[in-house]
Structures are given as structure tokens and as C-alpha cells.
Amino acid sequence: MVHLMLVNMMERKYMMNTHTTLYQRHGNYIPRVAAIHDLCGYGKCSLGVAIPVLSAAGCDVCSVPTALFSSHTKYPVFAMHDTTNFLPEFLDAWQSCPVDLDAVYSGFLGSAEQVDIIKRVWNEYPHALRVVDPVMGDAGVMYPTYTPELCEAMKSLVADSTILTPNLTEASILTGIPYEGQQVSDSTIDKILHELHAMGAQHVCLKGILSAEKPCSITNIISSADGNRSSVESELLPYMLHGTGDLFASCLTAAVMAGKTLLESVEFASMFVIESMKITGDQPEFEMRGVSFETQLWRVAELLHTTSL
């Protein structure tokens, strides 16, 4: 497919630098991105975030719903419907249509068997860029719908990921390195990133790192398998919100598909999340409703019309 810089596995191995453009837009072509996430009725996360953000970046979003939720899982009561048994038929139907993909962006999974669904999509669209947001937990706690079996299965997605976006909790689950909180030493960060690359991740964005020396900042570190590393600092707000990880990964993917470098994409995603969180703080019941990003989508659309961020 002529629209991709990533044509085969051999080319993937050489595109390691954080300043590298992982996807090149061509003319008026609209790239197609499979978004493999759950769909949440209330509380903005997963497909409810990925679809508008990627669409604003000029992407054709091909949704693969891994589960249906009445609300996000921070609410004490929620209903969930696992779509695992439906997905093989869902993807079989795609094979009878002229569906092709330029990227596969996966997030929350409803069961361990859905890891095989992602691998099937990878195998059927081998040229597609692979973004894996290993949504498993936060603040040292695994999400309530996740099982040890599912977390173990998630590890197998690391090996063939183009971009992996774990927070420190998820990185701990994936690597087996004990969770030490969000304030971690440089040596621990080195150990985590080394292990994730050893597992096969080409590029890693390790999210949500705090420092006692910089109490008003939060840092995301971008690392590539060749040892190239960059960091992006953002303002640390006095509150946390459900769905910021989904918004971050969606914005990162949107920027990559707009032709930005990985470093530029992380800078954009970091900025977008913080600006959206500030707006969210002005909303009623803001701590539960999810990130209010809607009025900021113009920033995503501008990615297609700017040469630098």
C-alpha cells in the first residue's frame, strides 16, 4: 500500500528514533484506523474519545467494540456486556468488504481471548502501524474487570507493538517490576524501559512520572529501541480524572497519523490533555464525568495544517 511509510516488518525495525515520522500523509488520502476499544455509555473514555479525536485528525475510524459499558468503571455500579463471542463474525464480515487499514489502535479489552482478536487484525493487515495502549490499571491498582489471565495475555501484545503507551502501573504489570508509586528513580525508569524494549516494543511512551524536585510537573518519557530517549514535562493539576489515558493515547495516535514525529505527538497529546482537564474542572460533577475535550477538538484538526507544534 503506497500510503504508508511502514510497509513491512523489516522497515519497522529501522524506524526507531523518537524524532522519526512513523506515518506520512499523502495528498487527500484519508488513513483508516481500527480502534479496538470498549464503548461506554456515560463517562468519556475509550471509543467515545477515540472516534471524535481521530476523526478530527482526518482519519477514517473503523471501530471494533470490545465491550459495552453503561458507564466507566470508576462508578460503583455499572453494567458490562462482553463482545468476545461476536468479534470473530464481526471481523469475518470485514474480510468480505474492501476494508484496508493504515493503523491498529487498541485499548481496553473485555477478556483474555480478545488479545487473539488483536493479533488476528495485525495478521490480516500486516502493513498497519500498531499502537497498543495497555489499559489495565492506575495508581498501583488493577481495574476491576481485569483478571490475572487477561493481564498475562496483554504481555504478548508488547512484542509486536510499534508504539506502547503504559502508565507506571501498567508497566509494572507488564514487566513484573514492582510498582513504587509515581515518583520513581532514573534507574527504575531505565529498568522498566529496558525490559519493555526487550519484550519487543519498538517505541514506548511511559506516562505519569512525578518528581520531588519538580512538584508542579508531570513527565512522559519517550524511548525507542535504539536507545534514543526524550521527555515531555507538563503542568501537574491538583486533581485526577478518569479517561485521561484514553485521551492521551488517542491524541498521540491522531498526531502520528497526521504525520508528526513521535516526540511532537507526545508533546501535543500532553498539552491537549492538560488543556482539556482545565476545562473539565469547570464542569458540574467533573471528577466523575470524564475529560471535557469537545471544545478543544479544533487543536486536533489543526495538526493537518501545521508543519510544527
Residue 4 has pLDDT above 60, yes or no: no
For residue 115, give its domain range: 33-237
**Bridge partners, 65 (sequence order):** 37
Q: Give the pLDDT of residue 309.
A: 61
Section 107-114 average pLDDT = 91
Residues 238-285 pLDDT 10s: 998 989 999 999 999 999 999 999 999 999 999 999 999 999 999 998
CATH of the domain at 97: 3.40.1190.20
Asked, for residue 209, whether it belongs to a domain, the answer is: yes
Q: Judge whether 10 lies within some domain.
A: no
pLDDT for res 14? 32
| CB contact at 8 A, 193 and 203 | no
User: How confident is the model over 25-83, as pLDDT tens digits?
Assistant: 999 999 999 999 999 999 899 999 999 999 999 999 999 999 999 988 888 899 999 99
pTM: 0.92
Rounded CA gap, 234 and 238, in Å? 13
Q: Residue 6 domain-assigned?
A: no
Average pLDDT, the chain: 91
Query: How many folded domains does the chain comprise?
Result: 1
Q: Is residue 225 part of a domain?
A: yes
Region 189-195: what's the mean pLDDT? 97
Given this model, what pLDDT does residue 10 score? 30
Contact 3, 245 (CB under 8 A): no
Question: At 95, is the secondary structure helix, strand, or coil?
Answer: helix
Percent of the chain whose pLDDT exceeds 90: 81
| Cα–Cα distance measured from residue 4 to residue 152, given in angstroms and rounded to the nearest whole number | 32
Q: What is the pLDDT of residue 307?
A: 66
Whether 208 maps to a domain, the answer reads: yes
Grade residue 16 by pLDDT with cuts at 50, 70 and 90: low
